[in-house]
Structure 1
């Protein structure tokens, strides 16, 4: 007989935190206008583009990303698990399993779970995306563990889209007497809440120069919502819906379902309609007495101003030494995402498999109960080979998986498939402060996880950029940087110029994929890195997925040629390299570069080599005629390369590292000065710079931007600062600021650090690569930034731009270690 495990196996490397224990001094936001929800973030649940929910380490459901691209962070107390326990001597105890008592006085009859203290643990929360666990200790006599996950599986383009959360409870009785236990799941009917109630949200420019718009969810608008109790063979649960006259559901319309399994060894109780704004006694009076509910059925729709919720409970007795497993499912079906004041609407990807009428939550329950064990096994089969590696430290394994959280929680869009998009359109926000999709300069680093695990989605993004490059949008806009810095006159610029690679694929309040270049902080038509970023990612996505997808190359090739020709127009002196113009015109968009720059110039050379490689492949393997003519393009690019290479070395190499640029006179050591060389090596292209120069420059970066900068940062005014933050973007060789008031140069960018670490590893500096990576990982996961990883942290204990896309660059490190 195989012995039963008293608790599910939790990987040692999972991020862990005592349940309910706060942070003494977490990072706080740098700019008042930026988002700062505080540190109570947990792993999100839900499939890509399906909307997601989040539950923190204190046990509360508090993240509601159910309207595409929009953010709501707010505890909903009625959405909760609760446990009743009765021991053999008749003693009972009952807790709602959140340590956060409602601030508004609701549910006053409920008893809330005690929070851990430094000296006494009541359990631990563990997370290793897409799984997380709550282990309850020192309160109940029973050993209780709740494992929760969604079917996010690499290479899977169906189940990875499902809007479901699975909650597998493992219950073990370690005592010598039987114990009666009841687990209750309550849920508030929020159908109709997750859509913008602002009729015409106007775009404004906030204090940091970024465009924003008003989002007013219909929070609390529950009129006509109703709940229905369902018994369907062994499946039981509550279905939450809304009366509607619309044949085709609108945004926010659909269903919730909560469910469990009935069998002869358990008792199931329910209450289909109760008031979550009251004291909750209608549930708690019976549940806290004996673990039952009143088996009340009431499908009366909610009146105006009324709130309704439902509840299910499973009661059973567990014998001494035995272990039981109890599943719960939460599913939601909100099939439509709308954009803009004259809405364009898309069906979500999961509707390709469940239908589009918004009435399929129970079908999702049936599917989930049937397949959840297989899904979990698939997740384990993916993760275990990495988890079992002894050459990778636990902190790295933890962050590697957990940084993928953004693919669920990053305001993700994934539309239903059509002829033009066989797996649908896909997009992740740059972040929640900069709410636009798939910023190309950011995904140069942050898209490695998507490429390595879901390559079809990665290619769909690049195809959408390729389609956008030929388009023109003459809408005039004032540049936010000019406003902030009071640069006059404020001259409008066109939103999108033909041939320019767009910065992003649009924003949730307009029409993503159709209206690009949403950001207006800078004139992105002038950026010198975006065309190169596009070309490099096209070749990367082709080469690192087997070098066989000629259709993808042919789809992107015309845009490659067009955008490189456009970028060459910025070569004002005809030396072969486009010059930076003095206004910030690249991904470091608050940092002025002048003339030939190390960062943009290196990307230019690597992009030309990529384009030549692409052209040669199309020449050799294309079965039909290719336009534009590859041979003509190759000849042109080779001419530009022959000019560029000596100029780059001559103007920028100072004998130790590459200068920031050719005209500013700055002596700053830029941490990302050789991103182009990293990409060239990654793609087996000719080197941008000599190997000895690259090694010397990397050593200079490591010493100045990491070692010496962090020695300087130890004098920060932030008490308790860990000695090493990571590498600053740019400091003088002694680690001090060139300009103490600078913004981007003195920030530690999480994704840039991970990209730099991948380059260090690539160049044989493996110890330095892991030192750098570990510093950043510990800052994020020990200082309250988990599952909201920011773009930047500072020596004063502040952060900027949470939930940031670039941090998924940690997968570039793993890719380099594995050799892709």
Structure 2
């Protein structure tokens, strides 16, 4: 068996690089040499990967999907919310994304390329813009001795530049929301360390919303003579999207001085018909720094004039005035150079800011404008890039201090393995890069659409949404639905622990949609039947597609009629209580109680035989939407019993004796039925007539533990049964699968053979594995939980090259499914579980999160 431990290539590399640089590069994180090539090249899941048996089962779905896909793409000219014919290929290139929460993101790859863009809300452009580069120029005694694009690529364009930096001399370090790239300049005795910083700060609701990033270049001169060093940033006006050639784009230089600090740079105005925006590259002006620029150049041909401009004297010509608007078909770029002197055996630093300003956004339907969150602080006029840049350049050191205070207790905890520290923070990339939008609530908005539950209702504009805005993130970059609720159930731990106001805001939106209905009939692709888009008093699958109008039209998912799904309502109830437990927000509990009662009443109709336990319907009616189950099941039955537990708890807190007695009666009868029908002495069956060992069978119990409900409180599952089931899952789904080195497979037969009865039973779902690991930790199986989760991290990040695009699923061999997925944020459930075992007398939130929270004034 492979001894992962501290012997991995990444760990050895990290120790070498940290020793060599000495510029605060942390030991922990994800590390990679710029010359590295991943050996394994996996393919996305496609129809041809389905077995003949499963093809016959889904032939109707395939025909109906094909017709729908043709209409969507060829007639409506829209992008399908799931494109089975256009899955993204695996590009093993991505690094830490740039920007805060909800203002759009730009991803910079680990080799330095700007390669993934999400500026239009929820819609991605997977283009590497070749001209977007950093270049270094070294001068000695007035003569340039070295000038190099800091890129390992040798592109066919821009041949006037010096490409092909040797990647063996450079290393990349990622510890989200920061990244470091260390370049040793061969033959120059100079080391550059580029530190990338984005303002993603727990419990901060102002700076965390800003669409900015900082690049700090630390320069170490190991020579016995002084050097003049310039760094140049070049940036194209655009993102590689077809609008780049649409014409009308223009650049202009700017200078802004306030509060004793001055910044200057270039504004790149991008002017498509919808969602225009401005990019800016900027630097802080200081007495011992020289800032210069080139307002506009054409990023095609050899582009040798820009190269010569820099190589001549280490600075750019800095013309005044704006560039003319680009003709159709042409692109324009800009450059910014910052220079300083570095003494012999000394060091110095240079700073750059990249900012973007798209204050008003329209989704695909173009029905209404939404204001991004950061406009509350910087305005909606579309001309605030100078102010954003000034603010970022003068505040990033405070951001870093806050980030370090937040991460330090985890990083310094020697009981935690290094891979876990990397996974915990780096998986947070999806909070910003999950197509995320964070908007202000429109003045005329009513989260319930003017409707109220019979037993009480939400205010039209709940205080938490008015104060903290509206938040949405995608199920995945390829599964384009906002706030997909069955998946958010797992991912939600990151939000409730780090940005709890956003978690509660999302919950209010979901609660508001529960009482609404959309009676318009539509074809559901799996069944071939027409049914309403949204039924009343049930939780929606999602709040909409960014290529349509989210919040206004929910349930973009139309494969199944999710009104009959068994898990959505239950996951709402469980999250309501978990969120209350972690926040102690009494108003939230009172507001959610009538909604919880309404969805539980809807759920009760699935108890067909009146034994207190719900039954599944014989088709895929829960988050495992390709894995059918009939009758009582461990997964949905467990969620049902756990929901009854928390309903009893909430009824007690709200002094509602009648409700308590109702749910306690159901719980007593349901628990007895669950054990009789599903418990076989070792584990609970996936279904009444199934012998599959399901890795996720204890999901309900997991949430009870995460909500602070112990063994003796509203007992639903005998503790011995839970621990026996977890041991069985560990022995079979983990250790008997792929040598115990790839996490937990969804389904395993008791004889130790992978369950291949469905297209999902033989998959590993990374987010489910992290939740399973958290459950093990809650039950005292810490080493087993860590080993289980480690298999996923090592597979995704170190073997398959899926950094910052963790997929929903992979199989033991060959394929993966749905890159860049929401569910793996559930790793924060592991941190909650670890924190809940800490018996030190700390405050409630500090105890359960396992680290000291930031001591800062709350920002509205």
The alignment's TM-score, normalised by the length of structure 2, stands at: 0.84
Distance in 1 (alpha carbons) for counterparts of 2:162 and 2:321: 26
Aligned partner of 1:145 among 193, 198, 207 = 193
Aligned partner of 1:122 among 153, 157, 169 = 169
Asked if 1 retains the 8 angstrom alpha-carbon contact of 2:21 and 2:182, the reply is no
**Aligned: 1:582 with 2:618:** yes
Paired residue secondary structure (2:730): helix
Deviation of 1:394 (Å): 0.7
Asked if 1 retains the 8 angstrom alpha-carbon contact of 2:516 and 2:535, the reply is yes
Distance in 1 (alpha carbons) for counterparts of 2:381 and 2:804: 32
Aligned partner of 1:108 among 150, 153, 159 = 159
Which residue is equivalent to 2:73?
none
Which residue is equivalent to 1:307?
331
Deviation of 1:479 (Å): 2.3
Structure 1 residues without counterparts, runs of 5 or longer? 195-215, 245-249, 483-489, 620-629, 712-722
Paired residue secondary structure (2:362): strand
**Aligned: 1:659 with 2:659:** no
Structure 2 residues without counterparts, runs of 5 or longer? 1-19, 47-84, 443-460, 837-847, 849-860
Distance in 2 (alpha carbons) for counterparts of 1:771 and 1:64: 35
Distance in 1 (alpha carbons) for counterparts of 2:508 and 2:365: 26
Structure 1, residues 78-108: CA drift from partner, whole Å, max 9, x if none? Answer: 2221111134695622112222333xx3312
Distance in 2 (alpha carbons) for counterparts of 1:510 and 1:90: 57
Paired residue secondary structure (2:661): helix
Going from structure 1 to structure 2, the CA distance change for 1:112 and 1:694 (only over 3 Å counts) comes to same
Structure 1, residues 412-437: CA drift from partner, whole Å, max 9, x if none? Answer: 01002565422111011010221111
Aligned partner of 2:252 among 223, 227, 240 = 227
Deviation of 1:694 (Å): 1.1
**Aligned: 1:25 with 2:70:** no
Deviation of 1:13 (Å): 1.1
Distance in 2 (alpha carbons) for counterparts of 1:285 and 1:551: 65
Paired residue secondary structure (2:737): helix
Which residue is equivalent to 1:238?
266
Which residue is equivalent to 2:524?
479
Paired residue secondary structure (1:569): helix
Paired residue secondary structure (1:480): coil
Which residue is equivalent to 1:745?
761
Distance in 2 (alpha carbons) for counterparts of 1:229 and 1:472: 51
Aligned partner of 1:317 among 328, 331, 341 = 341
Distance in 2 (alpha carbons) for counterparts of 1:515 and 1:617: 35
Distance in 2 (alpha carbons) for counterparts of 1:650 and 1:283: 77
Distance in 1 (alpha carbons) for counterparts of 2:437 and 2:222: 46
Paired residue secondary structure (1:172): strand
Going from structure 1 to structure 2, the CA distance change for 1:429 and 1:259 (only over 3 Å counts) comes to same
Distance in 2 (alpha carbons) for counterparts of 1:346 and 1:634: 42
Which residue is equivalent to 2:570?
532
Structure 1, residues 627-666: CA drift from partner, whole Å, max 9, x if none? Answer: xxx444333222222221111110011111111222xx22
Structure 1, residues 317-359: CA drift from partner, whole Å, max 9, x if none? Answer: 3111111111100111001221242422211000110000111
Deviation of 1:385 (Å): 1.3
Paired residue secondary structure (2:697): coil
Which residue is equivalent to 2:181?
134
Deviation of 1:264 (Å): 3.0
Paired residue secondary structure (2:754): coil
Matches within 5 A, 1:596-675: 596-619=632-655, 630-662=656-688, 665-675=689-699
Asked if 2 retains the 8 angstrom alpha-carbon contact of 1:274 and 1:282, the reply is no
Which residue is equivalent to 1:718?
none
Distance in 1 (alpha carbons) for counterparts of 2:182 and 2:357: 30
RMSD of aligned residue pairs (Cα, Å): 2.0
Distance in 2 (alpha carbons) for counterparts of 1:12 and 1:331: 29
Deviation of 1:528 (Å): 0.5
**Aligned: 1:513 with 2:551:** yes
Asked if 2 retains the 8 angstrom alpha-carbon contact of 1:231 and 1:237, the reply is no
Distance in 2 (alpha carbons) for counterparts of 1:235 and 1:426: 32
Which residue is equivalent to 1:50?
103
Deviation of 1:576 (Å): 1.5
Distance in 1 (alpha carbons) for counterparts of 2:382 and 2:696: 47
**Aligned: 1:352 with 2:370:** no
Structure 1, residues 7-48: CA drift from partner, whole Å, max 9, x if none? Answer: 421111111111243212243322264222411111101011
- Stretch deviating more after TM superposition (163-172 or 275-284): 275-284
Distance in 2 (alpha carbons) for counterparts of 1:224 and 1:26: 38
Which residue is equivalent to 2:771?
755
Distance in 1 (alpha carbons) for counterparts of 2:540 and 2:244: 34
Count of aligned residue pairs for this structure pair = 750
Deviation of 1:553 (Å): 1.4
Distance in 2 (alpha carbons) for counterparts of 1:566 and 1:159: 41
**Aligned: 1:693 with 2:740:** no
Distance in 1 (alpha carbons) for counterparts of 2:673 and 2:242: 54
Distance in 1 (alpha carbons) for counterparts of 2:189 and 2:118: 36
Distance in 2 (alpha carbons) for counterparts of 1:6 and 1:780: 27
Deviation of 1:296 (Å): 2.4
Which residue is equivalent to 1:781?
797
Asked if 1 retains the 8 angstrom alpha-carbon contact of 2:117 and 2:126, the reply is yes
- Stretch deviating more after TM superposition (88-97 or 413-422): 88-97
Distance in 2 (alpha carbons) for counterparts of 1:20 and 1:88: 33
Distance in 1 (alpha carbons) for counterparts of 2:657 and 2:556: 35
Asked if 2 retains the 8 angstrom alpha-carbon contact of 1:680 and 1:687, the reply is no
Aligned partner of 2:113 among 55, 60, 79 = 60
Deviation of 1:463 (Å): 0.8
Paired residue secondary structure (2:215): strand
Aligned partner of 2:309 among 280, 286, 290 = 286
Aligned partner of 2:807 among 790, 793, 798 = 790
**Aligned: 1:469 with 2:520:** no
Asked if 2 retains the 8 angstrom alpha-carbon contact of 1:181 and 1:291, the reply is yes
Asked if 2 retains the 8 angstrom alpha-carbon contact of 1:439 and 1:503, the reply is yes
Aligned partner of 1:10 among 25, 28, 31 = 25
**Aligned: 1:172 with 2:220:** yes
Structure 1, residues 684-708: CA drift from partner, whole Å, max 9, x if none? Answer: 1433211111111111111111111
Asked if 2 retains the 8 angstrom alpha-carbon contact of 1:84 and 1:290, the reply is no
Which residue is equivalent to 2:732?
704
Which residue is equivalent to 1:208?
none
Deviation of 1:499 (Å): 1.1
Segments of 4+ moved more than 6 angstroms:
none
Distance in 1 (alpha carbons) for counterparts of 2:262 and 2:547: 43
Which residue is equivalent to 1:203?
none
Which residue is equivalent to 2:594?
558
Deviation of 1:389 (Å): 0.5
Structure 1, residues 604-639: CA drift from partner, whole Å, max 9, x if none? Answer: 0110111121222223xxxxxxxxxx4443332222
Distance in 1 (alpha carbons) for counterparts of 2:486 and 2:242: 31
Distance in 1 (alpha carbons) for counterparts of 2:200 and 2:520: 39
Aligned partner of 1:730 among 731, 740, 747 = 747
Distance in 2 (alpha carbons) for counterparts of 1:580 and 1:778: 35
Distance in 1 (alpha carbons) for counterparts of 2:185 and 2:135: 16
**Aligned: 1:522 with 2:590:** no
Asked if 2 retains the 8 angstrom alpha-carbon contact of 1:583 and 1:592, the reply is yes
Aligned partner of 2:606 among 570, 574, 599 = 570
Structure 1, residues 368-400: CA drift from partner, whole Å, max 9, x if none? Answer: 122111111111111111111101011100110
